Amino acid sequence: MTGQEPLNKKAKFLVVANRLPTDLVTHEDGTQEWKRSPGGLVTALEPILRSHHGAWIGWPGVADAEPEPFDQDGVTIIPVKLSAEEVENYYEGFSNDTLWPLYHNGIVEPQYREDWWETYKEVNQRFAEVAAETAAENGVVWVNDYQLQLVPALLREMRPDVRIGFFLHIPFPPLELFEQLPWRDEIIDGLLGSDLIGFHVPGNAINFQRLTNVRRKHRVTRGKMSCVGHCGHIEVPQKEGSPRFVKVGAFPISIDSGAFDEQAKTDEIKKHGVELRKRVGDPATLALGVDRMDYTKGIEVRLEAIYQLLQEGRLDPEKFVFVQLATPSRERVDAYKELRKRVEEKVARINGEYASVGRPVISYLHQSAPFEDLLGFYRNADVMLVTPLKDGMNLVCKEFVAASTDGNGSLVLSEFAGAARELRTAYQCNPYDIEGVKDAIMHAIEDPEEERRRRMRALRRQVLTHDVNRWAKSFLDALPEH
Ligand code: ADQ
């Protein structure tokens, strides 16, 4: 392994997330290497992590690996070991086959299994213990996402001095749905160990407040329905003394939009985008989809809409190409295997009926795309199709907007993506209303150029002024002092 220095300091600022910002990769010859996986969260938090002797606690992505903590560019990386069975029960099972579908409106049926829950508790305990050992006196611990919802209360028990923020990256469901969960009260109490709980949109924060009020009888104070930032608080009674107040708020995440804009503007990306467009036959209209292969993302919805538009003659297969880049995801979970099969059947059916030799109508890749391909496609696509059935935020639509530096792309966006609240001038649609989706696609293609540009200008203003740094700062600023 490379680039390691021993750990020697306690961290004043600590990020706890299921995954580390760097992956342990095993080569064919058995040697291992750390590969940085720079995402928005890492980019936003790196400066704060560095300036505060920060540390990041997470799983390195390989079962049974137990590397020592090390220093990477001024950030202490603290790997947490998960056994193969734990990956199966805690990660693939409880996180991705129970909580993920439940929190996304039950699009597929959540699986409830006691053995998964037991492992979820054990793994959360382990993360909390590592955080408790690592955090400096009165430090700040930022816990991320649905895999670690028990960590705040477990950590508070061990380290009442630290300030705990929790951010949920996926939607929080309404009470009526959440109540299905056999371990609902344990999850609520786990989250309430935080000083601040952040969601993407106010509706999620309100769902959580209502839930704690109804199930735990905690008093809640609500801010305005439309608030962004601090939306209210929950009064949590203590065994002794006065109640604790847990702040709840909406903090819509974003991307490093300036960097996307800068890089997409370069001549290399412009040239690369033109080349990619040529490779798919230089169509009059190039439509694009970029997603993890996930049933929440509505990949089937857009394929069905395109299929019907071709059948109705509203799209001309000689002039239209749809590129779908789908990065493999959670491939051992049944619902994901079934989704992949359905998507691939649909792509084959559409191409079978409408493609000509050497010129597919749908160009589909089940691969992770290199970053310059993403930028090249974003910059050169005429229409971006983002049609999730439910999505916490959806960063892809923001990436498309930030990379549309020529100002002439159109965004078709589901109302059920968290981003729809901010991206008002997108061509919005209800993904359950296939006629509505088809009309939105046709407007996005056929509206006068002036109208399409006007919409994109407004989208770019929003995305370029609301970047991931602003998001991280607003969350940390809202974290109350003890
Ligand atoms: P995700 O569900 O993973 O995130 P999203 O926010 O769209 O969804 O982010 C996906 C990321 O993966 C993007 O950065 C995108 O560029 C990249 N990606 C997707 N397909 C790719 C491909 N084929 N090749 C290469 N890269 C690809 C969860 C929640 C979201 C929330 C984020 C952040 O589900 O709702 O927006 O966390 O909080």
Q: Are strands 410-414 and 427-429 parallel, antiparallel or unpaired?
A: parallel
**Distance from the CA of 346 to the center of ligand 1, in angstroms?**
23
Backbone φ/ψ region at 271: left (φ over 0), alpha (ψ -120 to 50), beta: alpha
Give span(s): CATH 3.40.50.2000, the chain: 11-253+469-478, 257-465
Q: Mean pLDDT, to the nearest integer, of 144-171? A: 97
| Position 344, amino acid | E
- φ/ψ of 292, rounded to 5, equals -70, 150
CATH no., domain 257-465:
3.40.50.2000
Question: What is the structure's pLDDT at 52?
Answer: 80
What would the mean pLDDT of 465-469 be, rounded to a whole number? Answer: 94
pLDDT of residue 45: 83
> Does ligand 1 have an atom closer than 6 angstroms to the CB of 253?
yes
Confidence of residue 482 (pLDDT cuts 50, 70, 90): confident
Cα gap 120→122, rounded to integer Å: 6
pLDDT band at 8 (very low <50, low <70, confident <90, very high): low
Looking from the CA of residue 297, the nearest atom of ligand 1 is 2
Ligand 1 contacts CB of residue 383 (under 6 A): no
pLDDT number for residue 39: 66
For residue 234, the number of C-alpha atoms closer than 13 Å in the C-beta half-sphere is: 29
- What count of other Cβ atoms lies within 10 Å of the Cβ of residue 83? 13
What percentage of the chain exceeds 70 in pLDDT? Answer: 97
The whole-angstrom separation of Cα 83 and Cα 60 is 12
Q: Determine if ligand 1 sits within 6 Å of the CB of residue 392.
A: yes
Residues comprising the chain, all counted:
482
Which range among 29-38, 219-228, 348-357, 363-372 shows the weakest confidence by mean pLDDT?
Answer: 219-228
pLDDT (tens digit, 9 = 90+) per residue, 33-56?
888 876 667 777 887 888 887 999
Distance of alpha carbon 257 from alpha carbon 405, whole angstroms? 11
Question: Does residue 366 carry a pLDDT above 80?
Answer: yes
pLDDT at 74: 87
What is the pLDDT, as a whole number, of residue 40?
64
Dist. CA 126–CA 154, nearest whole Å: 10
**What CATH code would you report for 11-253+469-478?**
3.40.50.2000
Most ligand 1 atoms within 8 A of CB, residue of 15, 276, 292 to mutate: 292
SS3 label, residue 417: strand
CB of 419 closer than 6 A to ligand 1? no
Decide whether any atom of ligand 1 lies within 6 Å of the 290 Cβ. Answer: yes
Query: Which class for 214: exposed (0-12), middle (13-18), buried (19 or more C-beta within 10 A)?
Result: exposed
Look up residue 98 and give its DSSP letter: I
pLDDT band at 229 (very low <50, low <70, confident <90, very high): confident
- The answer, yes or no, to whether residue 294 has pLDDT greater than 80, is yes
- Using CA atoms, how far residue 129 sits from 22, 85, 90, 126, 143, in Å, is 21, 20, 17, 5, 13
